[in-house]
Amino acid sequence: MSQDQNNQNKMKKYQIIIIVIAALIILGVAAFFIIRGTQDDADTATLQTIGTVDTDEVTDAVSATTFQIGMDDVVATVNGENVTGSDVLVYYEQMLSYYGEPDTDYVELYYSIAMEQAITMKLISLTAAEMGLDQYTDEELAELYATSDSEWQYALDNYVSYNLEETDETTDADREAAYADAESYYALLGYTKETLRESYLENETYERVKAALCEDVTVTDDEVQAYYDDAVAADQEAYEFDIDAYESQMLMYQYGYADEEPWYRPEGYRYIKNILLAVDDDLMTNYTDLVARYEEQMDDEEAGDTTDEDAQDVVTAEDIDAAKAAIIASVQTEIDEINAKLAEGVSFDDLMTEYGIDTTMTDGTYPNGYEVSLASYGYVTEFISAAFSVDEIGDVSEPYVSEYGVHIIKYAGDVPAGPVELTDDLKSLIYDELYDEKCDDVLNAWHEASDIQYTGVIRSLEEIQADEETSAE
């Protein structure tokens, strides 16, 4: 790879890190919510593994770099007030807790982001004091600290339950030691009961300032409608004739990589309700093993990679059919009962509750049923086959075997193609989105109107990005 390509790749990496970390850097409260549930034995700190921290200077934890700043170094001023190295360290340590140690090349970038956070929090503090929003009654503080202390105790309990194996021989001393280790673990990550209280107070002050600055922000019904219309038009263009793209977006949403479902549905989807019957583990293991061996066998045959030994251990389609038949036979009593009750008029929904083990069918997650098409990615092929084995709405399928058990499905209806309905819930979602956008504009203007001066001890994000762009040319 050429030096020019290396520079371009490095620049792209800087841009990605700046965008992602700057977008995700959050107050200590939210970071603590993540950290409190991430312990494992490999990286859990104990009293024996915690070293001392040098508080005379702020240094990065990557030994290969010499980048460092002093605790008293002034890195910036905000409306004439100093932001020091000690202020930066607070947010730098939060970043380490949340994201882990940076590569050597990006230590200064981490410090720069921490500096921007310290500047913002200094500006919030000054604004809160100016507007009288930093004053709390004893009752307000007590309520805030009660919430914070509850989260702290939850974190300690979570650590201990994960790391202390309770037995009949576990003593109070063992538990006390485990809780001491828990406090040491969180201290190493920059959290104590008091610092968490401070984070809660800081977060509440920020919310007060934000509410005051954005008190005149309004969102009209026409703006909500326009947002909806634009989003529907964009999704119609993307998905109306491209089910694969729609399915990909749905999977992204289901796995948390997209914020929302598409707002336009293509044709060809059915609402499918599912009674999933549990199957004996041995029968299921035999079936899935046969299927896996059969698929591997087909792949080998296609590649011409078979041996005489393979031929002696061949799996046939008949073997798989026999395994399926054994599974069906094992739950035939339940199948007969379900069919009999359906004939008597018992609702399919009631039978899902009585017989099914698919909890998402009964917990309200999919009140109308799963949305299934012949091109669906998120379902096993046996389930899709069952979903399209019947022709009329209201029809119930024969039993189908998959790796999850035995499916009896009902064709509950057709998913309407076209725009999603603009419900009150969706209106509220759009309203919040537009409000946040407008409020962000207000906060950005507030930030830009402030007198922020950098001293050069740490380069600003803009300086880092500009320097990287120059070196990439």
pLDDT at site 37: 54
pLDDT at 239: 95
Residues 32 and 151: beta-carbon distance below 8 Å = yes
- End-to-end alpha-carbon separation of the chain, Å? 16
What is the pLDDT, as a whole number, of residue 136?
Answer: 97
Tokens matching residue 51: 């070293």
Q: Is the pLDDT of residue 86 over 60?
A: yes
Angle at 210 between CA 79 and CA 153, to 5 degrees: 105
Query: Is the Cα torsion angle 201, 202, 206, 212 positive or negative in sign?
Result: positive
Per-residue pLDDT reduced to its tens digit, 199-219? 899 999 999 999 999 999 999
Q: Measured between alpha carbons, how far is residue 155 from residues 41, 100, 143, 296, 431 in Å?
A: 16, 19, 19, 46, 34
CA distances from 131 to 84, 140, 234, 327 (A): 24, 18, 43, 71
Residue 94 is predicted with a pLDDT of: 80
d(CA 267, CA 375): 11
Spatial CA neighbour of 75 closest among 111, 41, 38: 111
Alpha-carbon torsion (83, 86, 87, 93), positive or negative: positive
Of 469, 246, 208, 194, nearest to 375 by C-alpha is 246
Q: How confident is the model at residue 308 (pLDDT cuts 50, 70, 90)?
A: low
pLDDT band at 307, cuts 50/70/90? low
Residue pointed to by tokens 């060809």: 268
Residue 64 has pLDDT above 80, yes or no: no
pLDDT of residue 55: 36
pLDDT in tens, 97-136: 777 888 888 888 899 999 999 999 999 999 999 999 999 9
Residue-range domains of the chain with CATH? 3-52+68-215+457-472 (no CATH), 268-416 (3.10.50.40)
Each residue's pLDDT tens digit, 4-63: 444 444 444 444 333 333 343 444 555 555 445 554 443 433 222 222 334 344 444 333
Task: Compute the average pLDDT of residues 65-74.
Answer: 80
Answer for the pair 269, 294: CB distance below 8 angstroms, yes or no.
no
Whether the per-residue pLDDT at 329 is higher than 90: the answer is yes
pLDDT for position 397: 97
pLDDT for 435 equals 96
DSSP 170-217: --HHHHHHHHHHHHHHHHHTT--HHHHHHHHHHHHHHHHHHHHHTTT-
Q: What pLDDT does 311 receive? A: 59
Within 10 angstroms of residue 413's Cβ, the number of other Cβ atoms is: 15
- pLDDT given for residue 52 in this prediction: 31
Task: Tell me the per-residue pLDDT of 344-377, one tens digit each, with 9 for 90 and over.
Answer: 999 999 999 999 999 999 998 899 999 999 989 8
pLDDT averaged over every residue in the chain: 85
Lowest mean pLDDT, pick from 60-74, 165-179, 296-310, 441-455: 60-74
What local confidence, expressed as pLDDT, does residue 415 receive? 93
Output the pLDDT for position 97: 76
Q: Determine contact, residues 291/402, Cβ cutoff 8 Å.
A: no
In sequence order, which residues have a C-beta less than 8 Å from that of residue 288 and are 6 or more positions away? 403
What tens digit of pLDDT does each residue of 260-291 get? 889 999 999 999 999 999 999 999 999 999 99
Which pLDDT score is estimated for 65? 46
Q: Collapse the DSSP code of 119 into the 3-class scheme (helix H, G, I; strand E, B; otherwise coil) and give the result.
A: helix
| Residue with tokens 């949340």, as numbered in its chain | 98
pTM metric for this prediction = 0.68
Q: What is the pLDDT of residue 26?
A: 43
pLDDT of residue 51: 29
pLDDT for residue 157: 93
SS3 14: helix
